[in-house]
Chains A and B, each alone.
Chain A
Amino acid sequence: MKPKLNASNVVAALMCAALILLPVYSAATGNIFILTLFTRITIFALAAASLNLIMGYGGMMSFGHAAYLGIGGYAVGILAAEGIGSGFIQWPVALVVSALFALLIGSLSLRTRGVYFIMITLAFAQMAYYVASALSRYGGDDGLTVYKRSDFAGLINLSDRTQFYYLCLGCLFGGLYLIWRIVNSRFGLVVQGVRSNEQRMQAIGFHANRYRLVCFVIAGTICGLAGALLANNTDFVSPAVMYWTRSGDLMVMVILGGMGSLFGPVIGAIVYLLLEELLSQFTEFSGLILGPVLLLIVLFARGGIMGLLGRMRRG
């Protein structure tokens, strides 16, 4: 499959190049801030991309996706607090626990549809939020400080800004590649088929919910990885990372960038977090501008930024 030369692909390619070259720029200008900002952005982009897998391709509107950020983060934080600093243990645990959580809530939630699905995923995320708040041994409401970043036996040093950035970027590109492969596989086509017409897929013999559930678990696992990265990035994990407004942020990134397009969530995460950052430098009241901007995007730019780019090509 040869990629077409159109506006969306050019933007995506330029964006990837810029992300790869960013540490060079940062080192040349001595601008460390931009590197730490973009480390955060790549982590959220990975989380948003995983949400896009179920929301954009699978038609499952999960409003509790931030739960995995917290679960992945707490897996790292709790193991670190208990003296297990090795990333070779921490990260697999983060992924497995996220996958199990996704399996549990997915198998229950997928019995419902539409708004009910939105609400039940939200309910499960809120439960995870309250469980984390009650972990008094691990900081409870105040959160848990991660004193030492995951240790990969000298393979990579997570405390080095540039190395950590490239690790996050590598995870993002790896995640995107995985999603791309999934979406274009037989499995992915079935999931997308179920999104467009469930009854028809059932009728030709596909067990729709089983495909949905597997997709849901994959997305949760990828987001758990983002959670492990996030805990390492902030050296801290707290229940707030699972609060429903965080899930809302992730949804906003996906819709803003363009649902159901591979690079849409990445662009969405970049634009949303940059906008937030820029506005907060001008004014304390960034929501006064960010809020109406979101409203205007919904009203006038359907399909998000990728949708806009797609229309540009057609003129």
Chain B
Amino acid sequence: MYLVVEQLLNGLQFGLLLFLLAAGLTLVFGIMDFVNLAHGSLYMMGAYFAATFVAWTGSFVLGALLALGATLLLGIALEYVALRHLYGRDHLDQVLATFGLILFFNDAVRLIWGPAGLALPLPAWLTVPVQIIPGVYYPAYRLMIIVVALAVAAMLYLVVMRTRVGMLIRAGASNREMIGALGINIKLLFTLVFGLGAALAGLAGLMQAPILTVQIGMGENILILAFVIIVIGGIGSIRGAFMAALFVGIIDTMGRAFLPDLLRKVLSGAAASTAAPALSSMLIYLLMAIILVLRPEGLFPAAKR
């Protein structure tokens, strides 16, 4: 029972992290109609920036804030220099260009930080386990990820649903040309949205960094998961991305934790130990395939254009 609670929390934490990544992706996708494979690179850069700045300042919080700012600036610069010329192009052109950016960022990181991974040590106050319900302890750092990600999600909701900028973002998602015609500086809005997405990806990367090692290519696997989420949730829908991210995070974590035991009850030991890892890695993709076959537009399709 305690194990289930712990794994549920792990799933929630992973899901919220995925949401941070998917939110930026779905905004950029929904508003600019832009497929950004380099989103995973921004996630990786967030982690590398954090490892560097934390070592440099000696403070985890300060380093994280600096890394967040750096990813934001990097995202804006990237949009300004290259990506804004690709809006309105074919999705394939965008895939090719941002695939090139992945190659660039991976080797740039190898040049600057070297091929070996970095570690991002946690400060002492975040390593202690916290008692959440009597008898169940949970790492403080993972708890912090949950709290921060929930706060960011709430803030994102407020910004998108309750502010003027958010109104413009939503208007942009339903009809780009129209808000341009209404005199809104659409270029600035796009740059802003892209920067916001980059910062969210960076935040996800730097928060995940202490749990996994900071390494080249760390963004590639998780990028695909983020794409899976926005496709399941319905492209352009933040609410859909949130639901789908939690769904994917929890199913993935629970599958990895409990599927092997479940299979062992049904199959023979050898067959189960072969099938379990494959099945739990595949679970998410299987889920997505089923959802797309049944609902080709995702679970929460954004309003039609």
Contacts and interface: CB of A to CB of B under 8 A. Distances in A.
A259 B96 CA distance: 12
Contact of B92 (A131, A251, A292, A293): A251
A291 B282 contact: no
Given A112-B292, A123-B285, A134-B274, A255 B107 contact: no
A294 B288 contact: no
Contacts of A137: 274
Interface stretch (A6-14, A17-25, A281-289): A281-289
Nearest to A108: B293
Contact of B275 (A108, A134, A251, A294): A134
A127 B93 contact: no
B144 interface: no
A118 B91 contact: yes
Size bracket of the A interface:
35 or more
Given A131-B278, A299-B85, A120 B289 contact: yes
Interface string A255-277: 11001000000000000000000
Contact of A112 (B224, B274, B278, B296): B296
Interface string B265-305: 00000000011011101100110110011001110000000
Nearest to B37: A248
Contacts of B29: 115
B93, B97, B274 pick with most chain A CB within 10 angstroms:
B97
B65 to A, nearest CB: 29
B82 A299 contact: yes
Nearest to A291: B104
Q: How large is the interface on B (under 10, 10 to 19, 20 to 34, 35 or more residues)?
A: 35 or more
Interface in B197-226: 220, 224
Given A127-B285, A251-B96, A294-B100, A111 B292 contact: yes
A248 B223 CA distance: 14
A245 interface: yes
A5 interface: no
A298 interface: yes
A287 B104 contact: yes
B107 A287 contact: yes
B228 A119 contact: yes
Contact of B288 (A115, A119, A298): A119
Given A119-B231, A299-B86, A108 B95 contact: no
Interface of B: 29, 35, 37, 82, 85-86, 89, 91-97, 99-108, 110-111, 220, 224, 227-228, 231, 235, 274-275, 277-279, 281-282, 285-286, 288-289, 292-293, 296-298
18 contacts: A115-B91, A116-B296, A123-B285, A123-B288, A124-B289, A127-B285, A130-B282, A133-B277, A248-B99, A251-B99, A256-B96, A285-B108, A286-B103, A288-B108, A295-B82, A295-B97, A298-B96, A299-B85
Given A108-B293, A122-B227, A244-B224, 11 more contacts: A120-B289, A122-B224, A130-B282, A134-B279, A135-B274, A287-B103, A287-B104, A287-B107, A288-B107, A291-B103, A292-B104
